[in-house]
């Protein structure tokens, strides 16, 4: 039972931390976006894109959690896993949890700056989006690592 | 090279043909006109003439008129025509004729008069309504101005809160004699009353009113009774409104008759202003004028021919392009590659003389895009949607290119999805027996399952990255050879190509792709490559320092390429993310269907449509942005700088009309 609990706490950590990162990032970007809209409401579509970018981290966290759930059978018949396996799953979740947390926050800041860029030079907004994607890279790597490790763990 | 060759030219011609030459250049739009810089003593730049100011004045009048009339104009276009912003087709000489015959200036003045009339009448109505509002509480007051004060008696008007009214009446009757208080109107919060009192105790009475929260209201009375005045106001308002109606129908008539013509004149005047303003860049002598500009190499002869038809007194001089001059660029790509100019434009345009990366990145971009999505179902949706948008709406410029890229991307996604067994996130192996007829062929097409076997896709991603980078170095090498810098090219890109190829060779033998018998050879090749890098990459003249520098470059080179190539692993991660989120949507959909009675199926449909749509949009943004990033950051680093300026021709730009040429 303890093994399962540890595995679940890993899944929860992935969702919670990356979710906080995303929420924080989307919040920051959203404030800047609203400021831009107050001047020029026609830019709504583009600001929405910029605001949505830091949202992916939360999704990656969710994705990892779901993978853990399918792994230990939480969505069907539960597999009683060993305590060691529990810890393995827990640590497999940490990469996306932490990279999601930090990259979400920082991506939000870059997206907010992207909104200011949009206000001043609307033709250059593509570059703002690319800058934001640079930050996301590390969440993508975190996700990749988590997925690969999870894939390698044998639940038995 | 897909950046067109450009020449800098100077046209000098006689002033008599200035107008025609200008019109010719404007019509063809193949020149970008430069401000004259090196004005010598004889050449004097003409000052901005009154004509331009005059045109601006006319334009401002028309802008006002069009703005004013826009609410009266009935747009007869259909919805798709509106979205496509379809414009009126018209021939050039029709416009010239209209410009001569149509007294647009008078129409504009007429509209301005109407506008002013409107404003006066509207403010009159506001004034009357305000007076009426003040009078309304007193509509039952049977008094006129003359009754307010008689020899002995006086009347005050005022309001008091409803809940205090009774108490107030009691008090007033107790304290004063011969007083009359009458309520004429009552609303939600207060009562409107008039009080008749005797002048003797006026001061005491007003003190009393002050202390009992009675609000005095200034008498709105005139020489007729309030009711009569209200009727009078109503009549006046009616009169003003018919007046407004008259003006409106007049304006409507103008709108019906002239709106489209005014739009045409607007465009005509914009052209005229542009022509007048561009002359600020000309240089003039008493009899000649001179223009500097850029033109595409291939269009030079056409320019010469065109001017020859106008006059014999001209000369076109080709100028030498200075090294640091910001030459504008015109991208020239095949039809298939043109959409990908959108991808390049996000990063920036190539400088003049630099290679245009668009044809090189197109193939990689689209493959990366497909790998980031890897869902055949999404691929179909994307292809169909972008096709519909392209077919039924006439987008132009960047939007059109983007849609075309998405169209191709959809096709590649479909293929990639088919090969990896991605169909709306459905796990093909878990499909029930009843659907075996569908699952079997799909499983047969599937070459690799990324969820079960991610390492294969990871290897594929990294291999693609390796090819991408080697290819980039080859482009760099070939560009340098074309520019005659053979030695420089070989010593930089050439060395790294050799290095990367030997490493690839070596890894291939280790992995057993190539027979192990060549293992030794591969190892020697790698060692030779390392030695080559160390010997050539140091920049210092001092041999020891040079080797030391070479070692540093080796370290930076290896770590740089390793991190660059690993960066392509995002293709696996994003592809997996799309598939797994799709899977999650399906799981949630199935749960809703199982757990909720009666309307479960309906909710399931909503969950599935909404969920997959959201996944498609998010994954789409991710796929586009990250495929782009792999070009900008990893690929461009090897050969491309950018920072070019796009060619801005001196040409007619139309807001309302579509000019057709005969």
Q: How far is Cα of residue A25 from the mean position of the Cα atoms in its chain?
A: 10
Overall average pLDDT of the B545-567 stretch: 89
Strand partners, B257: none
Higher-scoring residue by pLDDT: B147, B599: B599
Q: Which stretch, B240-244, B251-255, B411-415, B503-507, has highest mean pLDDT?
A: B411-415
Q: Tell me whether residues B621 and A49 touch, CB distance under 8 A.
A: yes
Interface check for B652 against chain A (CB to CB < 8 A): the answer is no
Q: What digits encode the pLDDT tens for the residues B84-125?
A: 667 778 888 888 888 888 888 888 888 889 889 889 999 999
Set of chain A residues whose Cβ sits within 8 Å of the Cβ of B369: none
In whole angstroms, what is the distance from residue B263 CA to residue B276 CA? 20
pLDDT band at B2 (very low <50, low <70, confident <90, very high): low
Which tokens is B638 given?
């090897």
Q: What digits encode the pLDDT tens for the residues A17-70?
A: 999 999 999 999 999 999 998 988 878 878 888 888 898 899 899 889 988 988
In whole angstroms, what is the distance from residue B145 CA to residue B224 CA? 7
Set of chain A residues whose Cβ sits within 8 Å of the Cβ of B577: 59-60, 63, 143
Q: Beta strands B88-91 and B328-329: pairing type?
A: unpaired
Q: Which DSSP symbol is given to B315?
A: E
Q: What digits encode the pLDDT tens for the residues B574-624?
A: 998 899 889 889 988 998 998 888 888 999 999 999 999 999 998 999 899
Architecture of domain B149-218: 2-Layer Sandwich (3.30)
Report whether pLDDT(B6) > 80: yes
Set of chain B residues whose Cβ sits within 8 Å of the Cβ of A148: 454-455, 458
Q: Are A60 and A46 in contact (CB under 8 A)?
A: no
Q: What digits encode the pLDDT tens for the residues A79-126?
A: 888 899 999 999 999 999 999 999 999 999 999 999 999 999 888 888
Q: Is residue A92 situated within a structural domain? A: yes
Higher-scoring residue by pLDDT: A7, B164: A7
Q: Tell me whether residues B580 and A66 touch, CB distance under 8 A.
A: yes
Which helix H or strand E contains B282, and what residues bound it? none
Question: CA-based angle B194:B200:B204, to the nearest 5?
Answer: 70
Q: Is residue A61 situated within a structural domain? A: yes
Q: Tell me whether residues B567 and A63 touch, CB distance under 8 A.
A: no
> What's the CATH number where A39 sits?
1.20.120.610
Mutate to test the interface with A, among B465, B573, B583 (most CBs of A within 10 A): B573
Q: Are A88 and A141 in contact (CB under 8 A)?
A: no
In whole angstroms, what is the distance from residue B599 CA to residue B135 CA? 60
Q: Is residue A123 situated within a structural domain? A: yes
Distance from CA of B433 to the nearest CA of A (A): 19
Q: What burial class does residue A156 get, using C-beta atoms within 10 Å of its C-beta: 0-12 exposed, 13-18 middle, 19+ buried?
A: exposed
In whole angstroms, what is the distance from residue B526 CA to residue B544 CA? 23
Which tokens is B574 given?
């994003």
Set of chain B residues whose Cβ sits within 8 Å of the Cβ of A56: 618, 622
Which tokens is B306 given?
């065109």
Q: Mean pLDDT in chain B?
A: 87
For residue B43, the model assigns a pLDDT of: 47
Q: Is residue A109 situated within a structural domain? A: yes
**Nearest residue in B to A141, CA atom:** B570
Distance from CA of A127 to the nearest CA of B (A): 6
Q: Are B450 and B576 in contact (CB under 8 A)?
A: yes
R_g of chain A computed on alpha carbons: 18
Q: Tell me whether residues A126 and B345 touch, CB distance under 8 A.
A: yes
Q: Are B468 and B568 in contact (CB under 8 A)?
A: yes
Domain range for A63 is: 2-151
Cβ count within 10 A of residue B29: 12
Q: How far is Cα of residue B161 from the mean position of the Cα atoms in its chain?
A: 57
Tell the residue number behind the tokens 């607007």, with chain if given: B266
Q: Is residue A156 situated within a structural domain? A: no
Cβ count within 10 A of residue B612: 21
Report whether pLDDT(B398) > 90: no
Which tokens is B138 given?
């007193």
Q: Tell me whether residues A59 and B618 touch, CB distance under 8 A.
A: yes
Mutate to test the interface with B, among A22, A133, A134, A152 (most CBs of B within 10 A): A133
In whole angstroms, what is the distance from residue B34 CA to residue B283 CA? 11
Residue B289, phi then psi, degrees to nearest 5: -135, 160
Question: CA-based angle B551:B554:B556, to the nearest 5?
Answer: 110
Question: CA-based angle A23:A27:A32, to the nearest 5?
Answer: 155
**Nearest residue in B to A124, CA atom:** B346
For residue B74, the model assigns a pLDDT of: 75
**Nearest residue in A to B451, CA atom:** A151
Q: What digits encode the pLDDT tens for the residues B343-388?
A: 998 888 888 888 899 999 999 999 999 999 999 999 999 999 999 9
Q: What burial class does residue B101 get, using C-beta atoms within 10 Å of its C-beta: 0-12 exposed, 13-18 middle, 19+ buried?
A: exposed
Which tokens is B364 given?
């990689």
Q: Is residue A113 situated within a structural domain? A: yes
In whole angstroms, what is the distance from residue B590 CA to residue B431 CA? 13
Cβ count within 10 A of residue B49: 12
Q: Which DSSP symbol is given to B652?
A: -
Q: What digits encode the pLDDT tens for the residues B311-324?
A: 888 888 888 888 77
Strand partners, B185: B192
Q: What burial class does residue B631 get, using C-beta atoms within 10 Å of its C-beta: 0-12 exposed, 13-18 middle, 19+ buried?
A: buried
Distance from CA of B458 to the nearest CA of A (A): 10
**Nearest residue in A to B574, CA atom:** A140
Mutate to test the interface with B, among A63, A129, A153 (most CBs of B within 10 A): A63
Domains in chain A: how many in total?
Answer: 1
Nearest to B581 by CA among A134, A147, A73: A147
Q: Which residues contact A93 (CB under 8 A, 6 or more apart)?
A: A10, A11, A13, A14, A64, A65, A68, A146, A150
Q: Are B637 and B21 in contact (CB under 8 A)?
A: no
Number of residues that make up chain A: 156
Which helix H or strand E contains B7, and what residues bound it? strand B6-14
Interface check for B622 against chain A (CB to CB < 8 A): the answer is yes
Which tokens is B507 given?
């890894």
Question: B217 by DSSP, 3-state: which?
Answer: strand
Tell the residue number behind the tokens 């206000």, with chain if given: A119
Overall average pLDDT of the B459-488 stretch: 92
Strand partners, B349: B644
In whole angstroms, what is the distance from residue B23 CA to residue B45 CA? 20
Q: Are A88 and A11 in contact (CB under 8 A)?
A: no
In whole angstroms, what is the distance from residue B28 CA to residue B652 CA? 9
Which helix H or strand E contains B227, and what residues bound it? helix B226-278
Q: What digits encode the pLDDT tens for the residues B36-90?
A: 765 543 444 445 567 778 888 888 988 888 888 888 877 777 777 766 667 778 8
* Integer angstrom CA distances of residue B355 from B81, B331, B455: 39, 10, 36
Mutate to test the interface with B, among A14, A26, A55, A59 (most CBs of B within 10 A): A59
In whole angstroms, what is the distance from residue A113 CA to residue B464 CA? 33
Q: What burial class does residue B514 get, using C-beta atoms within 10 Å of its C-beta: 0-12 exposed, 13-18 middle, 19+ buried?
A: middle
Q: Which residues contact B612 (CB under 8 A, 6 or more apart)?
A: B377, B378, B424, B425, B582, B585
Which tokens is B305 given?
């021919």
pTM of the model: 0.77
Q: Which DSSP symbol is given to B214?
A: -
Q: Where are the domains of chain B?
A: 149-218, 336-373+375-449+571-640, 482-568
Q: Tell me whether residues A63 and B580 touch, CB distance under 8 A.
A: yes
Number of residues that make up chain B: 662
């Amino acid at each position: 039972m303890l093994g399962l609990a540890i595995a679940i706490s890993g899944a929860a950590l992935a969702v919670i931390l990356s979710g906080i990162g995303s929420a924080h990032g989307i919040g920051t970007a959203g404030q800047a976006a609203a400021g831009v809209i107050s001047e020029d409401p026609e830019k709504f579509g583009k600001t929405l894109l910029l605001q949505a970018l830091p949202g992916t981290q939360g999704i990656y966290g969710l994705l990892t959690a779901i993978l853990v759930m399918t792994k230990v059978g939480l969505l069907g018949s539960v597999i009683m896993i060993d305590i060691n396996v529990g810890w393995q799953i827990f640590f497999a979740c940490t990469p996306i949890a932490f990279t999601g947390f930090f990259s979400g926050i920082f991506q939000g800041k870059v997206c907010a700056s992207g909104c200011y860029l949009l206000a001043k030079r609307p033709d250059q907004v593509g570059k703002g989006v690319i800058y934001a994607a640079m930050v996301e890279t590390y969440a993508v790597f975190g996700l990749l690592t988590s997925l690969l490790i999870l894939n390698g763990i044998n639940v038995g | 090279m897909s950046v067109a060759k450009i020449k800098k030219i100077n046209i000098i011609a006689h002033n008599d043909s200035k107008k025609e030459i200008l019109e010719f250049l404007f019509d063809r739009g193949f020149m970008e006109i430069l401000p004259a810089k090196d004005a010598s003593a004889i050449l004097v730049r003409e000052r901005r003439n009154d004509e331009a100011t005059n045109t601006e004045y006319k334009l401002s009048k028309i802008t006002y008129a069009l703005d004013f009339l826009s609410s009266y104009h009935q747009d007869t276009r259909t919805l798709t025509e509106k979205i496509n912003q379809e414009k009126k087709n018209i021939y050039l000489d029709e416009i010239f004729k209209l410009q001569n015959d149509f007294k647009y200036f008078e129409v504009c003045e007429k509209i301005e008069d109407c506008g002013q009339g409107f404003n006066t009448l509207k403010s009159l109505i506001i004034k009357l309504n305000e007076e009426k509002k003040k009078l309304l509480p007193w509509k039952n007051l049977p008094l006129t101005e003359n009754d307010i004060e008689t020899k002995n008696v006086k009347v005050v008007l005022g309001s008091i809160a409803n809940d205090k009214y009774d108490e107030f009446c009691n008090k007033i009757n107790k304290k004063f004699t011969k007083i009359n208080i009458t309520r004429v109107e009552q609303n939600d919060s207060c009562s409107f009353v008039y009080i008749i009192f005797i002048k003797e105790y006026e001061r005491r009475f007003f003190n009393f009113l002050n202390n009992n929260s009675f609000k005095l209201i200034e008498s709105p009375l005139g020489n007729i009774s309030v009711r009569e005045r209200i009727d009078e106001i109503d009549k006046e308002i009616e009169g003003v409104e018919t007046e407004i109606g008259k003006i409106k129908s007049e304006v409507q008539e103008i709108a019906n008759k002239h709106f489209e013509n005014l739009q045409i004149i607007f465009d005509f005047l914009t052209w005229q202003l542009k022509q007048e303003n561009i002359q600020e860049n000309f240089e003039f002598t008493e009899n000649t004028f001179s223009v500097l500009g850029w033109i595409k190499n291939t269009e030079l002869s056409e320019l010469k021919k065109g001017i020859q038809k106008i006059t014999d007194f001209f000369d076109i001089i080709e100028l030498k392009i200075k090294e640091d001059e910001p030459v504008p660029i015109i991208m020239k790509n095949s039809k298939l590659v043109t959409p990908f100019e959108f991808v390049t434009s996000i990063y920036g345009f190539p400088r003049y003389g630099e290679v245009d990366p668009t044809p090189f990145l197109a193939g990689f971009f689209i493959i990366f895009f497909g790998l980031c999505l890897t869902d055949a179902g999404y691929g179909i949706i994307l292809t169909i949607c972008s096709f519909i948008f392209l077919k039924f709406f006439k987008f132009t410029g960047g939007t059109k290119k983007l849609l075309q890229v998405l169209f191709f991307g959809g096709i590649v996604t479909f293929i990639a999805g088919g090969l990896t067994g991605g169909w709306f996130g459905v796990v093909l192996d878990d499909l029930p027996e009843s659907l075996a007829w569908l699952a079997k062929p799909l499983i047969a097409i599937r070459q690799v399952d990324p969820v079960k076997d991610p390492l294969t896709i990871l290897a594929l991603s990294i291999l693609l990255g390796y090819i991408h980078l080697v290819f980039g170095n080859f482009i760099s090498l070939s560009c340098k050879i074309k520019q005659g810098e053979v030695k420089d090219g070989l010593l930089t890109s050439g060395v790294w190509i050799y290095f990367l190829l030997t490493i690839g060779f070596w890894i291939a033998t280790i992995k057993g792709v190539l027979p192990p018998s060549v293992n030794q050879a591969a190892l020697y090749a790698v060692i030779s490559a390392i030695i080559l890098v160390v010997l050539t990459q140091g920049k210092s003249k001092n041999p020891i320092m040079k080797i030391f520098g070479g070692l540093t470059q080796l370290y930076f080179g290896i770590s740089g390429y390793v991190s660059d190539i690993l960066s392509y692993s995002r293709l696996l991660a994003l592809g997996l993310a799309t598939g797994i989120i799709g899977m999650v949507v399906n799981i949630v959909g199935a749960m809703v269907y199982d757990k909720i009675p009666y309307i479960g199926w309906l909710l399931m449909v909503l969950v599935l449509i909404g969920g997959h749509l959201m996944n498609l949009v998010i994954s789409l943004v991710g796929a586009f942005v990250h495929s782009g990033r792999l070009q900008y950051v990893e690929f461009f680093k090897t050969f491309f700088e950018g920072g070019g300026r796009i060619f801005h021709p001196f040409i007619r730009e139309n807001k309302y009309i579509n000019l057709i040429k005969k």
